[in-house]
Structure 1
C-alpha cells in the first residue's frame, strides 16, 4: 500500500492517492489536480469526496470523465457539486454513488468506510481506507473545520466531535489541509472544541 499526497490550489487542499496492487483511489481532487493525478495512477478505481466544498471537488468532472471511474460523494453535499452554490464557476459533476451515513464499500479489494461527521458541511465525512483515516475538513492537526460557512452547523459539529471521541482504534489521520496526525493525538485536544462551540 502506498500513499501519495499533493497540496492543490491557493487553499493548498490535500489531494491523496491510495495505491494498492489492484489500483488507486483518488481522494479530494481539488484545483489543479488533473495532471498530477494522471501522472500517478495506472489503474484508477474511484474518486472519493470527503465533502462538497469546491476546493476538494474542483477536478471531479475532468477526472471522472477522462479516467472513466465512479465518483463517490456524501449524499447531503451532492448539491454543491451540481449547483455551484458559491458561484465560483466550477464544472458540475454528478456522483455515481451517493453515500448515506456511515457506509462501507469494497473497491478494488479495499474496504472503504465512510464516517459521517456533519458540521463543516451537511455531508462532511471522514474516509477510512486500509487503516488510514482521511478527515477532509472535519478534523485537522490541532484544529477543526470552520462552522461559519453557509450550510455549516456548530451544533452538528459538536455532535460529530463527540462521536469521533468514541473511536477506540488509533490510526494515522490525513486531513484536507496541513500536516498528518493520528486519531488519538487529536482526541486529546478535541474536548476543548466541544466546549468552545
Structure 2
C-alpha cells in the first residue's frame, strides 16, 4: 500500500488521504482538496481511482467528491443522513452507505467501518491496516464540534464510548479530519472527552 496525505485549502486545512493498492487501484478518504491534486498523484503512480470514502458529508470533506467520481467512475460512499444538498451538506447522492461493523474494500485495502454520529448524523470511522480514519469524530486530544446542524452531544458521547470498546489496536494511528495525528492508545489514556464519556 502507498499512502499520501493531502491537505485541503485554508482556512480549514482538512486532512485528506489517498491510498493506492498493490494493483494500482486507489481510494480517496475525504476529498477536501482540488481534484487536480489527487489526479496528479494518480497519474504519477500509474493508478486509477476506484472508491471515495467520505467520513461525513460536511462541505470541507467532500469538495471534489463528485468531480472525482464522474471523471474516474469511482464508487462514492457517504451515509444517507448526510446527503442534504445544502450549503453545509452539499452532496445529494452517493452510490452507497456503510455496513455497520462491516467492511468496504479495494483489493487488499480492507476498511472496517463503524457509525459514529455526533458531529453529524452520518459520521463514520474507518480502520485499515492500523490506520484509523476518524474524520471529525476524534481529534488529537479533542473531538469534533457538536453544535453545528445535525450535531448531538449525546450521540457524540455514545460514539466515543463505542470507539473505546472496539477492537482497535492501541498503536493504531489516528488520522483525524483536522490537526495533528496521534495514536489510539494515547487518546484512550489522555483524551478528556473519551475519558469523560466512559465514566
Please report the TM-score for the alignment, with normalisation by the length of structure 2.
0.87
1:36-80 CA-to-partner distances (Å, cap 9, x unmatched) read: 100112221200000010000011110000111100112322x23
Answer whether contact 1:15 1:33 (CA < 8 A) is retained.
no
1:128 CA drift (Å): 1.2
Match of 2:16 in 1: 15
Cα deviation, residue 193, structure 1: 5.1
Q: What whole-Å deviation, never above 9, does each CA across 1:101-140 have from its counterpart, x for those lacking one? A: 3331232232121111110001111111222110000001
Confirm or deny: 8 A CA contact 1:104 1:111 kept in the other structure.
yes
Q: Which runs of 5+ in 1 are unaligned?
A: none
Q: Distance in 2 between matches of 1:109 and 1:195?
A: 36
Cα RMSD over matched residues? Answer: 2.0
Q: Tell me, in whole angstroms, the C-alpha distance in 2 between the residues paired with 1:194 and 1:181.
A: 16
Unaligned stretches of 5+ residues in structure 2? none
Number of residue pairs aligned between Structure 1 and Structure 2: 190
- Equivalent residue in structure 2 for 1:24, among 19, 26, 34: 26
Task: Please report how far the alpha carbon of residue 7 of structure 1 lies from its aligned counterpart in structure 2 after TM superposition.
Answer: 1.1
Alignment of 1:1-197 (within 5 A): 1-10=1-10, 11-22=12-23, 23-30=25-32, 32-41=33-42, 42-77=47-82, 79-80=83-84, 83-86=85-88, 90=90, 92=91, 94-168=93-167, 169-170=169-170, 171-192=172-193, 195=196
Give the TM-score normalised by structure 1.
0.88
The structure-2 alpha-carbon separation of the partners of 1:52 and 1:195, relative to structure 1 and needing over 3 Å to count, comes to same
